[in-house]
Structure 1
Amino acid sequence: MVKFSKELEAQLIPEWKEAFVNYRQLKKYIKNIKLKRLLNQSQPPQQTFGRSIFDSLRFVINKLYNSHNDNNMQDFIQVKKTITEESEEVYETELAQLFVEEDEVQVFFAKLDGELNKVNQFYKKQEIEFVERGEILNKQLNILLDLKQLLSNTRRKNHSLRPSNTEIFPHSPGQRSESVGKRKNLSDSEVSEMDEVISTLERNGLSFVNSAMRVKTKKGKPQTAIRIDIPATTPTAVTSMLWEDLVNSPMKAAGCGGEVFNKRKIQCAEKMIRSAFVELYKGLDLLKTYSSLNMVAFTKILKKFDKVSCQKASTNYLKEVKRSHFISSDKVVRLMDEVECTFTKHFTNNDRKRAMKFLRPQQQPKASHMVTFLVGLSTGCSVSLCCVYVILAHLCGIFSPNTEQAYMDAVYPVSSVFVLLSLHLFMYGCNLYMWKSTRINHNFIFEFSPSTALRHRDAFLMCTTLMTTVFGAMVMHLLLRAAGFSPSQVDAIPGILFLFFVGLLICPFDIFYRPTRFCFIRVIRNIACSPFYKVLLVDFFMADQLTSQIPLLRHLETTGCHTFARVFKSHHPETCHSGRLYVEITYLISFLPYWWRALQCARRWFDDNDINHLANMGKYVSAMVAAGARVTYGRQDNNLWFAIVFITSGVATVYQLYWDFVKDWGFFNPNSKNPLLRDDLILKNKSIYYMSIALNVVLRVAWVETITHLNVGPVQRRLLDFFLASLEVIRRGHWNFYRLENEHLNNVGHFRAVKAVPLPFRDIDSDN
């Protein structure tokens, strides 16, 4: 049977962990009470005369107490509730004479009171926030429904609208609609209907623009309609402009039924409000779980106290716990019911089953044994094929100094791409496993759907399958060469393999983790289009991964160059390794990941107005300078460029190490109780953190080897470059765990357990 403490650890909300009952600490107090009683019972009567008398009296009292019914239990424990000036409930326990002389019991109930007060205050605070959020969402929904009504009325009257700044509406809604009605010769009922719609919209917070729109109907008669402006609360000025021109959409073609409202933006507003309702429901469900788990914790710990003290003094305390706010309040349950009804009615056309799929999405299914079996099978196959390839390569003389350069140019780049990618997937799988083991809520941080998010076994399966395919293709390539096939035909195998995986990546069919593949493509698009997209955590996290995969990007460019040269006959393959264009592309690829990351920092500074983002951008600028200097030094090997490379790379490395430890990992806090670390640590063994600091420093300075220019052969040189690139991938995977650990602890510090969804409409009386 699983102990409740472990069950509680497994079920509690990680971001609210500090707000839960500290069950383990309360158990320690219970243990202290038990040890103290055992110690008293083991003492000889002659040494503790007063104590033995007290024990005898206690024994008599216990007997008398046990003979009474439960109505007299409250005589032993009195729980008083007081209301503070801030309208907060504060509980304090007074012990009867039975327990007065036992300090351990007093300490236990003092701690228990503190835990009860903590739970109540946190619950009440979260409840108030969710109720306020629900009221805001209801207002947003009312605005959306009124807009739809106005759009429906516009369609019904078959208006085609065109902006005009020549006419000004009067101040009040009634005057506006009356003025419009006179111009349009509308009936009194139509004017009244329009006035009602306008008034409803203004009550919901819409402000009107002082202009009119002059349009032409199909008969060619000019008419006038109302134009409104809908401000936004989205975090950026760019998205604010999206809603500012909601009713200023371009005219559609004549006769196509042009509308005052852009239908696509109305649908976008509906999607935002729907997502906000889903997050509200999720938060309410978490708060309901919080209440039930804490109630069980109080019940369990008080039962343990009864067992140790041989009393039933907890009965009265449990009555007060059940009367406390976090148990007695029904606001959360009622609000959940309201959200269910509202969501079912307005977003799923009264289809409750479909509504609950949104509100309670399917959790991630349990790991399949088939996935585990396939991981083991593909791992064994990849290792076996790797050994076969090494033996064949040795027999064919691939590792000898006289090896054919054409073979290395055709095979090495594409194999390096897939091996480095597989290594990165393996490290990511290790990250997923560690994040799950330490209860770091990575799906919430990355805003991944729990039902489709990648698991560590899936990452390992992708890694091992990729490696099996690559090593199989490399073995086949060597066998065909040894069989006497034409090199031009055999060398097409790496290109075919490359095109196959590109096709699999963009495959629209629901096979081989389509949600993950499409998410990857979407994130890469956001990175490549920086700074035009708002930067999310998953975007800059992936961009950081790309800065560690510059060798992979270089090999990817070489692979693409060879593929086009052999398939489309556009150029000679030798131009992929020499010439001015090759040098320019090398500079571009060395700069591009850092450039994207710097643009993301600039965009985040523009959105958040935080100077730290500009400082972070400086880190990537220094990395670009160092990367450019190293590329130039590879072409101009002299003392001047050696000094430039050493200085620029040294400055960039110090900058990066500072940012890794202080900003990304949160270490080197001078006021921390853990020297050189931070106060909160997820891993219990602190020595792991110190070893990680040392390892990160060593792997950060691995660039020193690239400027030493060791006298080795071309094959050994490429193997050494591949080894250094692999070390950088390992360093990045190592960095990922502590980066997300720090992000998780920041969420815990602010109790962020649900996503804050921006809303499309702004209240005209609000400053936010």
Structure 2
Amino acid sequence: MEPGGIEKAEFENFLDDQLNTVEKFYKEKEDEAGQRLKVLKEQLHEMRNRRTQELNAQKQQAEMEFMHGHHGHGDGAKNGPLGWIDPVRSKIFRPGPNSKNLSKMARTPVMRPREGQDARMDYIRRPPEHEVPYRSAKRKLKLALQEFYRGLELLKSYAILNRTAFRKLNKKYDKAINARPQYRYMTEKVNKSWFVNSDALDGHIKAVEDLYARYFERGNHKIAAGKLRSMARKPRDESGSAFRCGILLGTGAVFGIQGAILGVQLLWDHDAHVREQTSYLLQIYGGYFFMLLLFCMFCINCAIWTRNKINYPFIFEFDTRNNLDWRQLAEFPSLFTFIFGLFLWLNFSSYGSDEVYEYYPVALIFVSALIIFLPLPVLKARSRKWFAYSHWRLLLAGLYPVEFRDFFLGDIYCSLTYAMCNVELFFCVYANAWDNPVQCNSNHSRLLGFLGALPPIWRFLQCLRRYRDTRNIFPHLINGGKYTMSILAAMSLSMYRINNTRGNLAMFITFSTVNAIYTSIWDIFMDFSLLDPNPKKKLNGKPDEKPSKLPVLRQTRALKKTWPYYFIAIVDPILRWAWIFYAIFTHDTQHSTIVSFLVALAEVSRRGMWTLFRVENEHCANVTARKASRDVPLPYPTESPSRSPTISDAGKDGAVLETTGTADAPGTADAQAPAGLPRRRRVAWTFTTILAEAHRQDFEKRKKPIEEVEPQLEEAGGMASDDGSGSDDDDDDDGDRSDAASEADSMEIREARELGDNARQGTRRA
């Protein structure tokens, strides 16, 4: 064999394997796209036919009422004093231009009532109790077409990116071995492959544009194509947001630091009443500060996710048309930082009369609540509505299906116990007009202890809801046991603070120790999935010849550096044991408040790091499962397959569910131990893999029933309402529009990048 022949054969086999993977995936998704397009056409035809029937029925009813009124046989109610309402309403709320356009289209023959049945008795096709209003159906189909178009664009970019990757691989390889002729592999295999030569995707894209123009833009193809393509446009310049964030953060930090210094100085004031008031005011401001700090850390995490191409909008199920870029999102904590710093400085600089000194926190909370709940289309109204609605779902935990945002927000509040306890402190001191505020602290109030245990209670109820929906004991009831220990630890701490006895101290130490061990193991094995049970496993599940250089870490990682994974694996369990200082300084009046603040600061910092890796782990799971988009629920029932080109299996009612596996039957191929391993290693491998994949069952994707008439509350990034009259462009107005979705990484781009990395390694070996 010629020199380097073995390496050359290995490299070509590697390229063949990658080409087959790309070819198989592309062909599968292209076929699914064709099926999905067929279903969307049927849905649009059904919407048109139903709307035409509604308009004809309204017209016939109006003619009959006119004839009855003309002959004097009208209904008494209609000829009574309120009989003028219906004619006026029909004149004001006329059918919109889009409805008139639909009425001019020919009916689809297959959608007519079955032969032998009266059109008015078509109970099989149109059950009255499940009738979908036209506006709701139109809104859903618009979103479905937009999401489908986005999926087609992703699949098209997947094909282009992989063709470019193969060309660059071939070029570098030919240059390394000085091959002649060049690009032989591209010419013989890649250029003849299906994903390079197929034009079906372009046809689907053109068909979607035509459908969107015909049904929603009155035949204007230019406007339709512009709206569909705007979802994939390049990111806008957000220098304005960065400037505003800098101004607000800088100014707020200056005010806040100066105000904190003045407040600390007042703790040594000669007036005992001022010292007492200042100490409690600082505690109230401390709770606000921790919420603000965690919000800022979330924005920093969004920047890190964007930089590392982590598709967090898909994980949180943001509407890709309207979700905020991380720079735009950072304007909120920047604004609140400015307000917080300003009020802190005004309060402790003794600005105003002595009577006002106690009420600056009230003004701060009022202004903050006004900004969040302001019912005006300003200040990113959709995002504020999403934020408020998410808290409503958390407040009623257990009554709603658990989405990612629900359990994520619940875990966030599990680290904000300092702020939760300050709710009791705030209302207690102001309800008693600052008379004897000592009665409101943790040594006297049982309500404060309950509020500290409330976030784990929310999470426990969510775990019960997940068990009810899936009937999987693992991980939901096991996870519920973890939050049970958190509840017991919070309750025992409150009991120990109120009644300082050895028994209460022993109970607090016992529950807190078990809780720290429980949560640390859960973080490392499940939330982070850091321990890889098979260090030789590649992304496609095939064993590598050489063991991994990083056997402790999972193979699929989104962050470019490896040290953060080791850092979080060490720091997270350590910070879980910060509760020890509670047992030491609980009844030391001089130090207990400071210790509580520092322990809360450590927990908030840990939660900020946890947030980064929890979302990163979920993204890696989506990459492995090949998830980059999801099907939008359609308004009308259908038996046809309805899968988009870049998503995985859909659950009932078109909802994509994350709960694809159980402890007994893992839902992915990765949970199956490879053949050839000893029995003990195989059992350990399977068990560790199940633990690493348990986080995928913490939630389910948003699910909307087909019978839904109108959503109870449009969420941030949701669709604007369609009033059915006037211009049909109303529900396309995109307030808070951002192109962060275009920055979010799809599974296709990540695979191409990894393909290039592997190819460079293969070139070096050759």
TM-score over 0.5 for the pair: yes
Q: Which amino acid aligns with 2:468?
A: F
Alignment of 1:86-101 (within 5 A): none
Q: Does residue 48 of structure 2 align to residue 145 of structure 1?
A: yes
> Does the residue aligned with 2:631 lie in a helix, a strand or coil?
coil
Equivalent residue number for residue 194 of structure 2: 325
Q: Does residue 704 of structure 2 align to residue 704 of structure 1?
A: no
- Is the contact made by 1:410 and 1:494 (CA closer than 8 Å) also made in structure 2? no
Equivalent residue number for residue 481 of structure 2: 618
Q: Which amino acid aligns with 1:656?
A: T
Distance change in 2, residues 1:549/1:361 (3 Å): farther
Q: Deviation at 1:364?
A: 7.1
Q: Does residue 554 of structure 2 align to residue 678 of structure 1?
A: yes
Q: Which amino acid aligns with 1:707?
A: A
Equivalent residue number for residue 472 of structure 1: 342
Equivalent residue number for residue 507 of structure 1: 374
Question: Using the alignment, how far apart are the partners of 1:497 and 1:625 within structure 2?
Answer: 33
- Is the contact made by 2:425 and 2:448 (CA closer than 8 Å) also made in structure 1? no
Q: Which amino acid aligns with 2:511?
A: T
Q: Which amino acid aligns with 2:129?
A: N
Alignment of 1:430-449 (within 5 A): 430-449=300-319
Q: 1:402-422, CA deviations, whole angstroms, 9 ceiling, x for partnerless residues?
A: 563552366224412331122
Question: Using the alignment, how far apart are the partners of 2:507 and 2:271 within structure 1?
Answer: 32
- Is the contact made by 1:473 and 1:493 (CA closer than 8 Å) also made in structure 2? yes
Equivalent residue number for residue 526 of structure 2: 663
Question: Using the alignment, how far apart are the partners of 2:479 and 2:242 within structure 1?
Answer: 41
Aligned counterpart for 2:262 among listed residues 389, 392, 412: 392
- Is the contact made by 2:485 and 2:511 (CA closer than 8 Å) also made in structure 1? yes
Q: Which amino acid aligns with 1:751?
A: R
Equivalent residue number for residue 136 of structure 2: 268
> Does the residue aligned with 1:752 lie in a helix, a strand or coil?
coil
Alignment of 1:291-690 (within 5 A): 291-308=159-176, 309=178, 311-314=180-183, 317-318=186-187, 320-356=189-225, 358-362=227-231, 363=233, 365-398=235-268, 402=272, 404=274, 406-408=276-278, 411-450=281-320, 452-480=322-350, 486-560=353-427, 562=429, 565=431, 572-574=433-435, 578=439, 583=445, 585-611=447-473, 612-673=475-536, 674-690=550-566
Q: Deviation at 1:705?
A: 1.7
Question: Using the alignment, how far apart are the partners of 2:257 and 2:150 within structure 1?
Answer: 51
Distance change in 2, residues 1:512/1:593 (3 Å): same
Equivalent residue number for residue 283 of structure 1: 151
Alignment of 1:216-235 (within 5 A): 225-228=121-124
TM-score when normalising by structure 1 = 0.68
Greater radius of gyration (CA): 1
Distance change in 2, residues 1:379/1:486 (3 Å): closer
- Is the contact made by 2:267 and 2:279 (CA closer than 8 Å) also made in structure 1? no
- Is the contact made by 1:591 and 1:624 (CA closer than 8 Å) also made in structure 2? yes
Question: Using the alignment, how far apart are the partners of 1:608 and 1:649 within structure 2?
Answer: 30
Q: Deviation at 1:505?
A: 1.2
Question: Using the alignment, how far apart are the partners of 1:577 and 1:341 within structure 2?
Answer: 70
Q: Which amino acid aligns with 1:533?
A: Y
Q: Which amino acid aligns with 1:759?
A: L
Aligned counterpart for 1:247 among listed residues 119, 128, 140: 128
- Is the contact made by 1:364 and 1:450 (CA closer than 8 Å) also made in structure 2? no
Q: 1:590-633, CA deviations, whole angstroms, 9 ceiling, x for partnerless residues?
A: 23322222222233333344332232223223322221222122
Question: Using the alignment, how far apart are the partners of 1:104 and 1:298 within structure 2?
Answer: 18
- Structure 1: gaps spanning 5 or more residues: 1-96, 161-195, 214-223, 231-245, 250-260, 566-570
Q: 1:208-228, CA deviations, whole angstroms, 9 ceiling, x for partnerless residues?
A: 9xxx99xxxxxxxxxx85544
Distance change in 2, residues 1:100/1:200 (3 Å): farther
Q: 1:341-385, CA deviations, whole angstroms, 9 ceiling, x for partnerless residues?
A: 112222343344553455234457444334434444444434433
Q: Deviation at 1:459?
A: 4.9
Distance change in 2, residues 1:199/1:380 (3 Å): closer
Q: Deviation at 1:520?
A: 0.9
Q: Which amino acid aligns with 1:200?
A: M
- Is the contact made by 1:414 and 1:498 (CA closer than 8 Å) also made in structure 2? no
Q: Deviation at 1:754?
A: 1.0
> Does the residue aligned with 2:585 lie in a helix, a strand or coil?
coil
Deviates more, 1:608-617 or 1:547-556: 608-617
Q: Deviation at 1:386?
A: 4.0
Q: 1:507-561, CA deviations, whole angstroms, 9 ceiling, x for partnerless residues?
A: 2344444333222112112222333333221222122111111211222343355
Q: Deviation at 1:130?
A: 1.7
- Is the contact made by 1:547 and 1:593 (CA closer than 8 Å) also made in structure 2? yes
Q: Which amino acid aligns with 2:466?
A: R
- Is the contact made by 1:417 and 1:555 (CA closer than 8 Å) also made in structure 2? yes
Question: Using the alignment, how far apart are the partners of 2:271 and 2:518 within structure 1?
Answer: 40
Bigger relative CO (Cα 8 Å, ≥ 6 apart) = 2
- Is the contact made by 2:535 and 2:552 (CA closer than 8 Å) also made in structure 1? yes
Q: Does residue 609 of structure 2 align to residue 734 of structure 1?
A: yes
> Does the residue aligned with 2:370 lie in a helix, a strand or coil?
helix
Aligned counterpart for 1:695 among listed residues 571, 583, 599: 571
Percentage of identical aligned residues: 25
Question: Using the alignment, how far apart are the partners of 2:440 and 2:522 within structure 1?
Answer: 37
Question: Using the alignment, how far apart are the partners of 2:490 and 2:237 within structure 1?
Answer: 42
Question: Using the alignment, how far apart are the partners of 1:100 and 1:396 within structure 2?
Answer: 82
Select the structure that is richer in strand. 1
Q: 1:154-186, CA deviations, whole angstroms, 9 ceiling, x for partnerless residues?
A: 4344499xxxxxxxxxxxxxxxxxxxxxxxxxx
Alignment of 1:49-198 (within 5 A): 102-158=5-61
Q: Which amino acid aligns with 1:725?
A: A
- Is the contact made by 2:259 and 2:346 (CA closer than 8 Å) also made in structure 1? no
Q: Which amino acid aligns with 1:126?
A: K
Q: Deviation at 1:495?
A: 1.3
Question: Using the alignment, how far apart are the partners of 1:575 and 1:394 within structure 2?
Answer: 21
Q: Deviation at 1:749?
A: 0.7
Q: Which amino acid aligns with 1:696?
A: D
Question: Using the alignment, how far apart are the partners of 2:312 and 2:334 within structure 1?
Answer: 23
Distance change in 2, residues 1:349/1:100 (3 Å): farther
Question: Using the alignment, how far apart are the partners of 1:199 and 1:282 within structure 2?
Answer: 29
Question: Using the alignment, how far apart are the partners of 1:493 and 1:135 within structure 2?
Answer: 61
Question: Using the alignment, how far apart are the partners of 1:684 and 1:656 within structure 2?
Answer: 27
Q: Which amino acid aligns with 2:453?
A: F
Distance change in 2, residues 1:406/1:337 (3 Å): same
Q: Which amino acid aligns with 1:544?
A: D
Distance change in 2, residues 1:471/1:717 (3 Å): farther
> Does the residue aligned with 2:355 lie in a helix, a strand or coil?
helix
Distance change in 2, residues 1:110/1:226 (3 Å): closer
- RMSD between aligned alpha carbons? 3.6
Q: Deviation at 1:199?
A: 7.1
Aligned counterpart for 1:759 among listed residues 610, 630, 634: 634
> Does the residue aligned with 2:128 lie in a helix, a strand or coil?
coil
